[in-house]
A and B are shown apart, each in its own frame.
Chain A
Amino acid sequence: MTTGAIISTIVIWVIFLGGLGFCISRIGRGGEWED
């Protein structure tokens, strides 16, 4: 793979997985799942 393709891959995974990781780390700070 070219350097550009490798950098694109890394950056995009960092964004998607970083975003998911941040959201998952926040789970439980808000509401409850039972009425």
Chain B
Amino acid sequence: MAEVTRERWTSRAPFIFAAIGSAIGLGNVWRFPYITYEYGGGTFLIPYVIGLLVLGIPWMIMEFGMGRYFQKGAPGAFEGIGKKWEWLGWWPVWVAFLIVTYYTVVIAWSLRYAISSATVAWGMGQAGAEAAGDFFFGTVLQLSDGPTVLGPPVWLILGLLAFVWLVIFLIMFRGARVIGRVSIGLVILPWLLLIVLFVRGVTLPGALDGLNFYLAPDFAVLGDVEVWFAAFSQIAFTLSLGMAGMVAYGSFIARKADVNNSAIITSFSDSATAFFAGFAVFSTVGFIMQAMNIPIGEVSASGLGLAFVTYPVAVSMMPGGNALVGILFFLCLFFLGTTSAYFLAYGGVAVPLMDKFGWSRVKATLIVTIVSFLVGILYTTQGGLYWLDMVDRMAAFYGLLITGAIACLVIGWGFGPAKLREHNNETSDIRMGAWWDWFIRIIVPLGLIFVVIWGGFKTDLAEQYGGYEVGALGGSDIVWLLLGVTLIFSILLSLIKTKTAGGGE
């Protein structure tokens, strides 16, 4: 390895908070609580914790370790293993790029709702609750009939998207030192907001009923493969692995600094945040059930539906402080999303470009900002939600799982996990045993492949994903086309000569 000047985290805290910030995101609030309720309540946490220990933590240690060992982002690290593997480092870069192009649009929606919450623009009381869905799809998104009916951009969302990218650029253009400092604030702030939302939630009538649905155990579900799939998939998605960024963040760790303990702290912090967010969400769900006298099945939702329809319903029905609760909730989403977005844009995309082409940090971050913003305009159009859904399926499902599984196999059977483990152990607070090697060789890739097959091939082969049609192509065709194109681009990028041995400063 050539000795190069590499940017560094100033100490452990900025690094840990930057890593936690990248891991905790919108999914902690809008996916984890619903999946926990759906798949056995408290019992779901058994496969979840097992997934965290056998899949998430070993995988995160591998990505941090690769970055520190090779002192490069993902493509440079795989190039270090062998030039023939560099493409495998570029593929997750495309995954990160595609994710950040639409993730920032969702952050822009959050800002839109923070603004609209000031007047509870979708309406108060029962009438507002009933109008929440139409407000999101009709007023905010102005959703068209299909992916081929794009229409003009929704200008307010486009303007907010530009603001989001300005914020991201201002944080990332000065690199790890600023990212670390900013992340401490941007992680603590949503934690504080979640505490406020938790207190508001549990003091609402009906809150305990909601928490019972969230947490009451049902041990019979442990025999159901679907529950294990849900737990493993949540672990695979929640830690921001398989998106190239954690390798870059790992490359900023000082040569004598800890890797293993930092990875474990990051993983547990992410899970604890998700678990706590569930209290804020499901206490509110319980309130809606009681206030509107409807069963849990008609209230609980995940993803966009929870954030932009269910929660606004609760805001409309609350006995007081409606606007403030709405503003705090959507600001919380904004902060949670922003830390993940600059992680994807900087660690996932800009750092690999700096490593490869020797670009300055300002040049790389400016190019990433402009190009990502331009691509993001697609999702601000009236047909944007359909494309967002398909690109999400390609990148945040197939992309990260497939590249993650292959990366583990290459490290496990090609590079040699013992080499990486000993490198990590030399300076880490907690040492990994030889068992870790076998987790990287077999358990983690098997877990990821299981999720791909069970949640992907099995359903997508049966029917076209989402039922979308773009000309003669269906949703699944678009997803696989995108995967193929990004793979080809990754191979092409790997054929270009690397112009710098370092990068980063």
- Residues of A whose CB lies within 8 Å of any CB of B are 1-2, 4-5, 7-9, 11-13, 15-17, 19-20, 23-24, 26-35
Contact = CB atoms under 8 A, between A and B. Distances in A.
A12 B211 contact: no
Given A16-B272, A30-B261, A35 B254 contact: yes
A31 B258 contact: yes
A5 B212 contact: yes
7 contacts: A5-B214, A23-B261, A24-B265, A26-B429, A28-B429, A31-B428, A33-B11
| Closest 9 pairs between A and B when the two form their complex, measured CB to CB | A8-B42, A31-B427, A5-B215, A30-B429, A26-B429, A16-B272, A31-B256, A30-B258, A30-B428
B140 interface: no
Scoring B214, B258, B269 by chain A CB atoms within 10 A of each residue's CB, the highest score goes to B258
Contacts, number: 100
Contacts of B261: 23, 26-27, 30
A8 B41 contact: yes
B121 interface: no
A5 B349 CA distance: 42
B275 to A, nearest CB: 6
Q: Chain B's interface: helix, strand, loop or mixed, by majority?
A: helix
B83 interface: no
A9 to B, nearest CB: 6
Interface of B: 8-12, 41-43, 45, 49, 208, 211-212, 214-217, 254-258, 260-261, 264-265, 268-269, 271-272, 275, 426-430
Given A15-B45, A16-B272, A33-B10, 8 more contacts: A1-B211, A2-B212, A2-B216, A5-B41, A5-B212, A7-B217, A27-B429, A30-B258
B28 to A, nearest CB: 13
B56 to A, nearest CB: 12
A15 B270 CA distance: 13
